[in-house]
A and B are shown apart, each in its own frame.
Chain A
Amino acid sequence: MPIIKKGEWVSDEWISVDDETDLPVEGDVLVSLTRYQENAAALTARAGKLGVRLEASEPPEAIADVVGSFDLITVDFPAFKDGRGYSYARLLRERFGYTGELRAVGNVLRDQLSLMWRCGFDAFHVNQSITPEVFAESIGELSIAYQPTGVTKDTVMNARHK
């Protein structure tokens, strides 16, 4: 499945490694939270970038103090109706100060993109039907927001009381 990052197709250079497989010597690796927690020192010391996968049942408090170790965090949406990942994104961005790539994976659909974007996701694992054009259209449907969240600092409230 393709990835759209900041509105453009990007190719996925990350090597997603499951918990049973040995780490490759080179390259950027994406590991589970469990694997990270068991091998944090070795993983951080390794050459190449590090990414971590959060499942919907893994709130990001577990990595609050170490978000700087990661260049990629993926948050899984097992079903589009499962909205926990929206809160996780806001905590990572707004509270823990994470600035790397934040990627939504799983059941990521067109009509959820703008909500995810507004919560701080900047990359999306999407199906073929979502092109950068569709992405731009979806993100642009609502041009202003009532709430300050994620990347949205231009709120109705600020515009009113400029």
Chain B
Amino acid sequence: MYRYDQFDHKLVTERVNQFRGQVSRRMSGEMTEDEFKPLRLMNGVYLQLHAYMLRVAVPYGTLSSVQMHKLADIATKYDKGYGHFTTRQNLQYNWPALEDLPKILDELAEVEMHAIQTSGNCIRNVTADQYAGAAADEIDDPRIWSEIIRQWSTFHPEFTFLPRKFKFAVTGCSNDRAAIRVHDIGIELVRGKDGDVAFDIHVGGGQGRTPMIAKLIGEAISREDLLAYLEATLRVYNMSGRRDHLYKSRIKILVHDIGAEEMKRLVEEEFALVKKQGVLQLPQEEVDRIRAYFAAPDFETLDAECPELDAAMASNKRFAAWVNTNTAQHKQAGYTIANISLKPIGGVAGDASDAQMHVVADVAEKYSFSEIRVTHEQNLVLAHVKKSDLLALWETLEANGMGTPNLGLITDQIVCPGLDYCALANARSIPIGQEITERFADLDRQHNIGELKLKISGCINACGHHHVGHIGILGVDKKGTEYYQVTLGGSADEITSVGKIVGRAFTEHEIVDAIETIVEVYLDLRESPDERFLDAYRRVGIAPFKEKLYADN
């Protein structure tokens, strides 16, 4: 993975010192809270309902074992013994004290980590496909390009006070595991005319109160033009994006208001001028330098078949279920990609205790070249595990509450913090998620239902991605009572769609039954067990679900 050179080190250290100064100017009263706010936000510090929250950047979701151990230690020392992995592939601490923040940042810097640009109206930490470098289907490793974008966007002086926050996601292939079409800019690696890697640039996706699917603005942009194209897009947005209203300031609103064609015209006009200046050309040597950090690890030459694994699966049903749902095909024979579920039945989606983080760091060291990925669906990945090691790996995970075989199933949910933590929430999300996992705890039942992405947000800001859940749940407030609105048919993959509201919202006592009814309707009408919930929904539409849900009215 990427290692800092002297320049990266220097910048992060200087940044920690800069923030230390800002914290002390705030504490002495020299700076008002209003002036401090954007500065602390740019260093990942939020004010939540009960306390400050620190969001640590995990660039494109990649961590080393050493870094994971450090995250665990910080959770022990400065928090309540746990951390929360987020949909931005980052880690959040929910209970740090303001005066400890510079110390935490120092400790993070020791392992080349930071909290830079994890909030604020700047270019946020870049996310990428969690199977990067391991997936059989990728054109190129998205981490290389994400790292290049990370460096270009870090402390970019022109784009630190954008109209609103700005999120990038990068996928290495057409199978989109990074939800690129619901980001401000989503990049898909493609083959250009010359056979080289090139970039399709999708602009103006997003969730929140106005969900939008990004439009393809730049097609097959070349390697040397990538940064110039991005700079042009950001400049158009910085100069023309609305600043009069919080909810109208994302780039998706600009693209929507002027239209994709006009956006493309403006970006291309600006791009031609940036390109003419020539200073932002991305040199091949720099790409090569960064590529070297992401070279494939030393794989052993192995058979694709692994009889030991087959035998272990035959004798252990839960393990077999885990292999079937939680592993994915690796490009190297004899290896597999292992997903660690952070969604135990009755647990808080994405939470990991300090002890669990240490365990993950250890198994990564033992079985996967000391490297870990965080996914936008709030799970972890060991990208390069030998098939023959899977049983030992799973046994350790299982013994530590991380062996749940539910990846992609109804209990593998994205859940926002909701009213338990968040000052903007209308309703609680976490307890609803927990109740649903308990209702569907039976593994055979979950596996029979098959792939079903359920996502929960506590308000319309959509941090829990409910718009793109196959089933989405949104907390709404009606005269001081928590209600839950259900959407169906959303999806965040290469065929992105925004879910449709099924009807009147449900109370907290009705919502779990309603979800069960939806699942039962699906099971009755699917053509075969291979027809996923989403496919069945797309075939039949919302009517059969509506009918059953509101039969009594």
Check if B238 sits within 8 Å of A81, measured CB to CB: no
Check if A142 sits within 8 Å of B161, measured CB to CB: no
Main secondary structure of the interface of B (DSSP, over half): helix
Check if B161 sits within 8 Å of A80, measured CB to CB: yes
When chains A and B are docked, how far (Å) is the Cα of A60 from the Cα of B238?
Answer: 14
Among B11, B121, B162, B280, contact of A142 (Cβ-Cβ < 8 Å): B11
Check if A80 sits within 8 Å of B7, measured CB to CB: no
When chains A and B are docked, how far (Å) is the Cα of A90 from the Cα of B274?
Answer: 11
Check if B161 sits within 8 Å of A156, measured CB to CB: no
Q: Which residues of A contact B516 (CB under 8 A)?
A: none
Check if A84 sits within 8 Å of B238, measured CB to CB: yes
Check if B11 sits within 8 Å of A160, measured CB to CB: no
Q: Which residues of B contact A143 (CB under 8 A)?
A: 10, 14
| Closest A residue, CB atoms, query B121 | A81
| Closest A residue, CB atoms, query B234 | A87
**Residue A146 lies at the interface, judged by CB distance under 8 Å to chain B:** yes
**Residue A148 lies at the interface, judged by CB distance under 8 Å to chain B:** yes
- Stretch of B15-23, B376-384, B426-434 contacting A (4+ beta carbons < 8 Å): B15-23
| Closest B residue, CB atoms, query A109 | B35
When chains A and B are docked, how far (Å) is the Cα of A62 from the Cα of B273?
Answer: 16
CB proximity of B6 to chain A, nearest CB, Å: 9
Q: Which residues of B contact A114 (CB under 8 A)?
A: 157
Check if B152 sits within 8 Å of A159, measured CB to CB: no
> Known: A80-B38, A144-B7. Is A149-B22 also a contact (CB below 8 A)?
no
Check if B280 sits within 8 Å of A148, measured CB to CB: yes
Among B11, B239, B243, B289, contact of A87 (Cβ-Cβ < 8 Å): B239
Check if A87 sits within 8 Å of B157, measured CB to CB: no
> Known: A80-B38, A109-B35, A142-B18. Is A147-B157 also a contact (CB below 8 A)?
yes
Taking residues whose C-beta sits less than 8 angstroms from the other chain, chain B's interface range is 35 or more
Among A82, A90, A146, contact of B158 (Cβ-Cβ < 8 Å): A90
When chains A and B are docked, how far (Å) is the Cα of A90 from the Cα of B235?
Answer: 10
| Closest A residue, CB atoms, query B274 | A95
Binary contact readout A120-152 vs B (1 if CB under 8 angstroms, 0 otherwise): 000000000100000000000111111111100
* Interface residue total, chain A, C-beta cutoff 8 A: 36
| Closest A residue, CB atoms, query B150 | A146
**Residue B521 lies at the interface, judged by CB distance under 8 Å to chain A:** no
CB proximity of B336 to chain A, nearest CB, Å: 36
**Residue B283 lies at the interface, judged by CB distance under 8 Å to chain A:** yes
Check if B14 sits within 8 Å of A129, measured CB to CB: no
Q: Which residues of A contact B239 (CB under 8 A)?
A: 59, 84, 87-88
Q: Which residues of B contact A129 (CB under 8 A)?
A: 30
**Residue A19 lies at the interface, judged by CB distance under 8 Å to chain B:** no
**Residue B285 lies at the interface, judged by CB distance under 8 Å to chain A:** yes
Among B21, B155, B283, contact of A145 (Cβ-Cβ < 8 Å): B155
Check if B160 sits within 8 Å of A83, measured CB to CB: yes
**Residue B504 lies at the interface, judged by CB distance under 8 Å to chain A:** no
Which residues 99-126 of A sit at the B interface, judged by CB distance below 8 A?
A: 109, 111-112, 114-116, 118-119
| Closest B residue, CB atoms, query A59 | B239
CB proximity of B447 to chain A, nearest CB, Å: 47
When chains A and B are docked, how far (Å) is the Cα of A109 from the Cα of B26?
Answer: 14
Q: 23 interchain pairs (CB within 8 A)? A: A83-B159, A83-B238, A84-B239, A86-B160, A86-B161, A87-B235, A90-B158, A109-B35, A111-B39, A112-B161, A114-B157, A115-B160, A141-B18, A142-B155, A144-B7, A144-B10, A144-B11, A145-B155, A146-B11, A146-B156, A147-B157, A156-B8, A161-B286
